[in-house]
Amino acid sequence: MSSSKIFQSYFHKDPTMTSSAHGRLNLIGEHTDYNNGFVLPSLIPQSIEVSIGVREDDDIVGISDKFGALRSKTFSSNNGTWLDFVRGAIYFIQQLSPSMRGIDIAVSSTMPNDSGLSSSAALEIALLRTLARLQGLSISSYEMAKIGQQIEHQFAGTQCGIMDQMVSANGQLGEAFFLDCENLQSKSIPIFLNHSFVVIHCGSKRKLSQSKYNERKNESITASHILNVPSLRHASINHLSQIQDPIIQKRAKHIISENDRVIKASSYLENNDAKSFGELMFLSHHSMRDDYEISSDELNQIVESAQKNDALGARLTGAGFGGCAVILSHNDKIESMKKSILSECPQAYWVTTISRKLNS
Ligand code: GLA
């Protein structure tokens, strides 16, 4: 049901504003964003939609099709619910428009949660789009992405990079969004002509993702301090021997090699070379499994099954520790490959397929 329908049936009036934002699939470049490196995500068709109405007090009265009804004050402390994101968005809008007060809000989502497809960035961008319009503010999509990231840092407790919010705010369906996370320069590249990215959920939700995510970020920072570089973006594989701690060395190896893979993969995408792109996806997965240690048995099983069933490439996508895998397949083979993987991995399920738009 649309968020405006939910709003009408819950609040018995029409919403004032409605906006939405898409989730994202990362094709390659994992955990590189907070190391000021490169990423290559794309939008997925699934999205989050938000409808709001103004209130004269400082209350937030919310209803979500996935998480039910909640109520709080705009200035209440974070409590691990979806209203933390709403309070965060209101807080940042209030910095630009102090007349902003409480809201009635309905949220509808077609996205699976805890999948590594960034439903939280989609919620942040949908909220910011709606509240900015409500307050008559013009906030650029780049600024919006940065505010979304701050909501995540200050209100949700994940020290995330900028990838999810940037692609959710700026991406186009059917195109990959190459992003340099150091200077936020970006480039859109159409998806392959005859190949698509198939997204399969491994069946287990992401476990410990927030604490392990922040731990990986700290390990990356430690590595950059040892190498005396501003971020691992500026380190090269030849530097690795300067890191004595084997764990920190492995973490740095993943980031440095992954940055290199994103640059190469982007040019393979531009040249419509799906075979070479796919090989990099497998290498990326192995690096995340063995060096960054963010995979899970279920994700490894999907990647192995994909390889056995003639996929050109496969890897976990997103923060890791559960969630989705992305598989590169020739368009003619998608259905048979999907069928084989889902029968070999009975707990897994298909989420979406990202292809080039027919007219691009
Ligand atoms: C999460 C974060 C992103 C990024 C990915 C891993 O989605 O929000 O910033 O770090 O994990 O690539």
The strand pairing partners of 18, in sequence order, are 51
The CA angle 113-116-120, to the nearest 5 degrees, is: 55
| C-alpha closest to that of 96 among 60, 53, 156, 146 | 146
Query: CB of 316 within 8 A of CB of 30?
Result: yes
Q: Residues 114-127: what's their mean pLDDT?
A: 93
Regarding the beta carbon of 25 and ligand 1, being less than 6 Å apart is answered: no
Reply yes or no on whether the pLDDT at 154 is more than 90.
Answer: yes
Question: What integer pLDDT is reported at residue 204 of this predicted model?
Answer: 85
CA distance 8 to 13: 5
Active site residue 164: yes
CA distance 80 to 210: 12
Best mutation site among 40, 163, 167, 231 for ligand 1 pocket (most ligand atoms within 8 Å of CB): 163
Q: Indicate which atom in ligand 1 lies nearest the CA of residue 31.
A: 12
Regarding the beta carbon of 117 and ligand 1, being less than 6 Å apart is answered: no
DSSP string, 36-63: T-EEEEEEEEEEEEEEEEE-SSSEEEEE
From the CA of 10, how far away is ligand 1's center (Å)? 34
Reply yes or no on whether the pLDDT at 105 is more than 90.
Answer: yes
Q: Indicate which atom in ligand 1 lies nearest the CA of residue 33.
A: 10
Burial of 56 (0-12, 13-18, 19+ CB in 10 A): exposed
Regarding the beta carbon of 258 and ligand 1, being less than 6 Å apart is answered: no
The strand pairing partners of 52, in sequence order, are 17, 105
Instruction: Tell me the average pLDDT of the chain.
Output: 96
Share of the chain above pLDDT 90, in %: 95
Query: Per-residue pLDDT tens for 161-189?
Result: 999 999 999 999 999 999 999 999 999 99
Question: What integer pLDDT is reported at residue 359 of this predicted model?
Answer: 58
Dihedral of the alpha carbons of 288, 279, 40, 240, in degrees to the nearest 10: 50
Length of the chain as a residue count: 360
| C-alpha closest to that of 124 among 141, 137, 112 | 141
Catalytic position from the list 58, 164, 245, 273: 164
Query: Per-residue pLDDT tens for 38-60?
Result: 999 999 999 999 999 999 999 99
Q: Residues 59-76: what's their mean pLDDT?
A: 97
Question: What integer pLDDT is reported at residue 360 of this predicted model?
Answer: 46
Best mutation site among 213, 220, 259 for ligand 1 pocket (most ligand atoms within 8 Å of CB): 213
| C-alpha closest to that of 163 among 288, 55, 350, 35 | 35
The CA angle 246-318-49, to the nearest 5 degrees, is: 155
CA distance 135 to 318: 33
Reply yes or no on whether the pLDDT at 69 is more than 60.
Answer: yes
Distance (Å) of CA 173 to CA 191, 274, 295, 353: 9, 19, 27, 11
Class of domain 3-188: alpha beta
What superfamily does domain 193-354 belong to in CATH?
Answer: GHMP kinase, C-terminal domain (3.30.70.890)
CA distance 215 to 304: 27
Domain ranges of the chain: 3-188, 193-354
**Nearest CA, atom 8, ligand 1:** 160
Reply yes or no on whether the pLDDT at 209 is more than 90.
Answer: no
Reply yes or no on whether the pLDDT at 296 is more than 70.
Answer: yes
Q: pLDDT category, 37, cuts 50, 70, 90?
A: very high
Q: pLDDT category, 157, cuts 50, 70, 90?
A: confident
Query: CB of 54 within 8 A of CB of 7?
Result: no
CA distance 106 to 64: 6
Query: Per-residue pLDDT tens for 225-240?
Result: 999 999 999 999 999 9
Question: What integer pLDDT is reported at residue 287 of this predicted model?
Answer: 98
Q: pLDDT category, 93, cuts 50, 70, 90?
A: very high
- Check the CA dihedral 279-285-290-291 and report its sign: positive
Q: Which residue has the tokens 């923060």?
A: 319
